Amino acid sequence: MAALQPVKGTYDLLPKDKALHRKVSETARLICERFGFHEISTPIFEFSEVFSRTLGETSDVVTKEMFSFETKGNDKITLRPENTAGVARAFISNKLQHETPVKHFYYGPMFRYERPQKGRQRQFHQVGVELIGVETPQADVEVIAAASQFLNDLGFADEVTLELNSLGDSESRAAYRETLVAYLKQHEDKLSDDSKTRLETNPLRVLDSKNAGDKEIVKGAPILTDSLNETSRSFYEGVKRGLDLLGISYVENPRLVRGLDYYCHTAFEFTTESLGAQGTVLAGGRYDNLIKMMGGTQTPGVGWASGVERLALMLGDDCVELPRPIVMIPVSDDQQEKAMEISHELRQAGFMIDQGYSGNMKKRLNRANKMNARAAILLGEDELAKGIALVRDLESGEQSEILLDALKDHLAKFK
């Protein structure tokens, strides 16, 4: 019988991988708390309508990438492909409209059925923020500032570029849609099949096509910012003015669009060249109509999400170390029970103690070195008779006889 393997597009987070994820998620949490965001956790599956209604029935996520199933009670359920819709649903379900502004931070797994590749799996993880209830550009500036600080604290200040665009309000997008469709119709015979479909259902998505032929056609397409009305233009100028005030540099990218239907006004991405083709490490924007689309009251919102796997790739294994324990080593089985007792007392006092379960002292010391232990406590018959233990510094090799009653004080330097 063949050995069982993980499902395609999933992978195990071994201790070093998990340490990298923790570095990313904890950095995000600390920065977000500094900006006034509080952590929220929503279910990893929702009623399918939470996503199909909000992401757009014609979006790639809904038509190609969702993991959906029916329960025994005939409910249609989907594993969350992103978390903004889930947070918006939580806002409505928990009647938070009277508590705005609401500022949430999240971390957790997402699920999309797509071709697995480096930094992108079918089960992946995101950190993100949502600021709900503020309609002014100040909110956009604040969430972008939090994203910038987060990436800076991870050490990526010189590796990422903030790209910025405006999608305008619904009136501006309607005007742009007419202009864009008129242009694309002239090249319809050269568009990919997907883009021909999008031309009828949601032509703005053609701008985001990954097809090489489509990309060439899009290069000559009209620019959305040329269709912005005065309200949208003023909002966009407010965002840029705020970023300038905070000294956050950006590049305007008039071709930047969002792949989901609920976005409006500000769209932004932090991109890098260090990941090859998959250059976006954090992306977000404003979604003033999302909560109304879900059956709530009209409530503005803005937020971002970042893929933890991609950030972990950028960090590299060398940026984290697993905790270094103190190893308890009884010289023979006769000292095993006393070793357990002392280990328990030291753990209660806050020390990280790893206890080998079998093998002679040489094997246990070899294991201690493999796990990069900081120190070893050696317990032998003679030592216990004298009420002492041998403590060996595994970096310097220095070894000392320490009274058992003074063990905690001596070990404090290894804590």
Tens digit of pLDDT for each residue in 236-254?
999 999 999 999 999 999 8
pTM summary value: 0.88
pLDDT tens for each residue of 69-95: 888 999 999 999 999 999 999 999 999
The CATH homologous superfamily for domain 15-169+229-318 is Bira Bifunctional Protein; Domain 2 (3.30.930.10)
The domain segmentation of the chain, as residue ranges, is: 15-169+229-318, 326-414
Please determine, for residue 357, whether its predicted confidence score (pLDDT) is greater than 80. no
pLDDT confidence tier of residue 399, bands split at 50, 70 and 90: very high
Domain 326-414 fold is Rossmann fold (3.40.50)
Q: Which residue has the tokens 């932090």?
A: 270
For 179-205, the pLDDT digits (tens) are: 888 888 888 788 888 888 888 877 887
Helix, strand, coil shares of the chain, percent, nearest 5, are: 45, 20, 35
Please state at what angle helix 193-201 crosses helix 170-185, rounded to 10 degrees.
140
Please give the pLDDT value at position 368: 85
pLDDT single digits (tens) 269-327: 999 987 766 588 999 999 998 999 889 999 999 999 999 999 999 999 888 888 999 99
| pLDDT of amino acid 359 | 72
Closest CA to 369 of 407, 324, 339: 324
Confidence of residue 405 (pLDDT cuts 50, 70, 90): very high
Greater pLDDT, 354 or 366: 354
Q: Which of 301, 328, 322, 308 is nearest to 134 (CA)?
A: 301
